Amino acid sequence: MTTPQLAFGIDIGGSGMKAATVDLSTGELVTERYRIDTPQPATPEAMAAVVVDLVRHDEWTGTVGCAFPAVVRNGIVGSAANIDESWLDVDADKVFTEALGQDVHMINDADAAGLAEVRFGPEAARKGVVMMLTFGTGIGSGLFVDGVLVPNTELGHLELDGPDAEKRAAASARKRDDLSWAEWGKRVHRYLEHVEALFSPDLFIIGGGASKRTEKWLDQVDISTEIAVASMANNAGIVGAALIAP
Q: Is 237 in the site for ligand BGC (CB under 6 A)?
A: no
Q: Is there binding between residue 240 and ligand BGC (CB under 6 A)?
A: no
Do residues 144 and 114 touch, judged by C-beta distance below 8 A?
yes
- When asked if residue 110 is in the footprint of ligand BGC (CB under 6 A), the reply is yes
71 binds ligand BGC (CB under 6 A): yes
**Is residue 138 near ligand BGC by the rule CB under 6 A?**
yes
- Could you tell me the smallest distance in angstroms from the CB atom of residue 51 to ligand BGC? 17
Closest CA to 75 of 101, 105, 52, 46: 105
- Neighbouring-strand partners of residue 20: 9
What minimum distance in Å lies between the beta carbon of 152 and ligand BGC?
Answer: 8
Q: Looking at 16-24, 98-106, 130-138, 223-231, which segment touches ligand BGC (CB under 6 A)? A: 130-138
Pairing of strands 64-68, 6-12: parallel
Contact range with ligand BGC by CB under 6 A, out of 16-24, 57-65, 89-97, 107-115? 107-115
**Reduced to 3 DSSP states, what percent helix, strand and coil does the chain have, rounded to the nearest 5?**
40, 25, 35
Query: 72-101: which residues touch ligand BGC (CB under 6 A)?
Result: 79, 81-82
Using CB under 6 A as the binding rule, whether residue 70 contacts ligand BGC is answered as: yes
Is residue 11 part of the contact set for ligand BGC (CB under 6 A)? no
Q: What is the DSSP letter of 209?
A: G
SS (H, E, C) 118-157: HHHCCHHHHCCEEEEEEECCCEEEEEEECCEEECCCCHHH
Q: Does 112 bind ligand BGC (CB under 6 A)?
A: no
Length of the chain: 246
List interacting residues with ligand BGC (CB under 6 A): 69-71, 79, 81-82, 108-110, 134, 136, 138, 140, 154, 156, 166
